[in-house]
Each structure stands twice: as structure tokens, then as C-alpha cells.
Amino acid sequence: MANEKTQLALATDTDAVPAYIKAGNRGNENVADALAIPRIKQLQKMSDEVDKHKTDKYVPGAEPGMFINSISNELLGDELYAISTNFKVVYNVWRARDSGGGIVGAADTYAGGQALIQEQVDQGNGKEEEFNNTETHSHLMLFKNPETGELSLPALFDFANSKLSVSKNWNTQIASKGGDRFAGLWKMSSVSVENRSGQSYLNLKIEWQGWVQEEDYKVAEALYEAHKS
């Protein structure tokens, strides 16, 4: 545990970069909008990734409560150390699980989400009832490896349905701390809760860890600047 805290507090080693390589981003100036930003998903008991009978979607080792990278299918454990750099309310349009699942697109308004659904219907990609237009709190994040101290590539984490209240509470905590949104490090973990019918499911617990180190702050600041609206 002591080692974990140490790695989270110390800057990563930059000496590994050869001296002849300049610290810059040349050649990537126009790439930002052409990158597929992965989503981080919290696995539930009903998730296809944990179902061995879903041979096309099952991920070996996946268990409810774990987090997974939606593009690489990399399992990230059941705890994440996160820096939220940007926040936006969107309306994500999803294809229903029974119709194959997957995200169709996102809109800034509910009406925009409905337009996306109508577009799918007009193109013959399904019936209106096969899609869900969901209010979503979208957090763009960096994740810090507690063992190495390194930051991940940016990823989106969507808070919808029962997670909306978690996101609202988190936003309140971030605002109460003061400083930039991306100035704090937070621990995200899975917790079991029950709905009104007594059925259990997994939700999120988010806890303050402390202020980010200067090096991580600069990385987060750059990400914020690249994606602010």
C-alpha cells in the first residue's frame, strides 16, 4: 500500500527519452479529431464480456465490477485513479442489446439524439424501438497507473441512468475543492447497490486522493485545452 501511494505521488521518469528526440507533438497537429477515443466501461453481471457463452464478445478473465477499455478490450481491474479534464452533457444513442448493442452516435440535445435515431431508421438500420436516447454525463479522463505512476492515453467515461447521480455528486466535490477541474486525482471503484426492487447491481464510488503533481497537471491541462468547446 505504501508503494502504491508513492508511485501515485512521484513524477514519472523522463530520462528514458533519447536526448536527440525533442519533446514535442510535430506531425500530429491535425490528428486530434481523427482519433478514436476509447470508452472505459464498468462490467456488470449481464455484460457480454463476462459471459463465456458470448464467444464473439467474451473477454477471458473479465468479471463483474472490472473496468475495460472498449477498443482494446484491456481489463483495467476494479479500481481506477482518474483525472477528469473535461465534462459535457450529451445524449448518447445506443442500439439495444437484443439488436446487437453498440453506440450509434452522440448529440448535444435530446432532439438531436432523436434525429440520429430517425436517420438510422431512414437508412434501414433498424426500427425506432431498437434504439435508446440516453442523457449522459461524459467525462474525458486520464488514468494514473498506481504501480508505475504513468498516465494513460485519454478515454471517455459515460455516466448514465443510475450513474448520473454519482456524476452530479462528483462534480459538486470537484467544484468545492477549487482550482482547475483537472487539478485533482480521484479513485474510482465498483460498489454493489440495490434498486427499489431489491435487485443488486454495480455502481461507482469516487473518492478524493489529493492534488495532482505538476507534471501530470501539465499533461491534463494540455488535454483540456485540446478538447474544450
Q: Within 31-162, where are the H helices?
A: 110-122
Give, as one character, the DSSP assignment of residue 11.
P
Of 190, 214, 221, 187, which is closest to residue 5 (Cα–Cα)? 187
**pTM for this model (two decimals):** 0.78
pLDDT for the residue numbered 118: 96
Q: Any idea which of 31-45, 52-66, 147-161, 175-189 has the lowest mean pLDDT?
A: 31-45
pLDDT higher than threshold 50 for residue 26: yes
Angstrom distance (rounded) from CA 87 to CA 181: 9
Q: Which three cell numbers stand for residue 192?
A: 454493489
Contact 128, 175 (CB under 8 A): no
Q: Which three cell numbers stand for residue 14?
A: 523522463
Give, as one character, the DSSP assignment of residue 77.
-
**Average pLDDT value for residue range 5-14:** 49
Q: Which three cell numbers stand for residue 207?
A: 473518492
Q: Which residues contact 164 (CB under 8 A, 6 or more apart)?
A: 135, 137
Angstrom distance (rounded) from CA 185 to CA 8: 9
Residue 19 — pLDDT band, cuts 50, 70, 90? Answer: low
Q: Any idea which of 21-25, 29-33, 128-132, 200-204 has the lowest mean pLDDT?
A: 29-33
pLDDT for the residue numbered 58: 93
Q: Name the pairing type of β-strands 184-194 and 40-42.
A: unpaired
pLDDT for the residue numbered 221: 95
**Average pLDDT value for residue range 213-228:** 94
Measure the CA dihedral 54/55/61/67, to 10°. -50
pLDDT for the residue numbered 31: 47
DSSP labels, 148-188: T-PBPPPEEEEEEGGGHHHHHHHHHHHHHH-S-GGGEEEEE
* Mean pLDDT, rounded, of the chain: 86
**Average pLDDT value for residue range 9-30:** 49
Summarised one tens digit per residue, pLDDT across range 82-139 is 999 999 999 999 998 788 778 898 999 999 999 999 999 999 999 999 999 999 999 9
